[in-house]
Amino acid sequence: MRRFEGKSVLVTGASRGLGRGIAEAFGREGARVGIGYRTRKHDAEQTLGEITSSGGTGMLLELDVRDPTSVEAAVAGFARDAELNVLVNNAALVRDQVFAMMSAEQWEQVIAANLTGTYNCCRAVVPRMMARRRGAIVNVASVAGLRASPGQANYAASKGGILALTGTLAAELAPLGIRVNAVVPGLLTTGMGQRLDRRIAEGRLTAIPLGRFGAADEVARAVLFLASDDASYVVGQSLVVDGGLSL
């Protein structure tokens, strides 16, 4: 039997990149996947197509994680007919700039999407999980929240905040049957890693002991582990998946 057969999983930012990889991995394991997206409906439909072709089921969920009303409406629609078992907070925004030139808008946009967005989604699902005294939340952080990341003060602060939030929520919610953990990706062949200038990318590779960028599926497998019964005694942990970059 597939690990998430009969389970409902909501993945935010699932229209492309790492989020798509995570959503598709849950689909392959039999989950009913809520595909959270904000504007890229066509891409989200492609994610849904991959999930259904692998034997899973899915539902498109248009939502803006920055807006608690939007999040609550999407969660209510997805959880109307079935228990919500897993939330994966993956949606994120990048507005890189050296700090001396970073505008207040660039700071606020990233904090609102990444950190407040994670809060909004947790706030929407936790009461539902508390009512059943079970559930799992996996927050997607970043090695930028663990080590200096010049040009990413806003992003690093948001991801460091997610790591702190993860630990505190884990301590509060574990007695209620809800496990909260985080996965901490390094540089990947998708998302930001894909957009790096070739010369910068080659320089970053020298700092990775494995000598390569990671694949979305390698992070997705870590997310599935943390969300599954295989991790039933894992609470408040930050699982780093970075090829050794943070060593």
Contact residues for 88 (Cβ-Cβ < 8 A; gap 6+): 9, 10, 11, 12, 19, 22, 137, 138, 139, 140, 223, 227
Instruction: Work out the angle at residue 187's Cα, subtended by the Cα atoms of residues 37 and 217, and round it to the nearest 5 degrees.
Output: 60
**Of 64, 155, 162, nearest to 108 (Cα)?**
155
CA distance 51 to 29: 10
Which residues in 101-237 belong to E strands, given as ranges? 135-140, 178-185
Nearest to 5 by CA among 235, 228, 232, 230: 228
Q: Which of 37, 119, 155, 233 is catalytic?
A: 155
- DSSP run (H or E) holding 89: strand 86-89
Residue 119 annotated in active site: no
Structure tokens at 80: 């109307």
Which positions are annotated as active-site residues?
A: 155
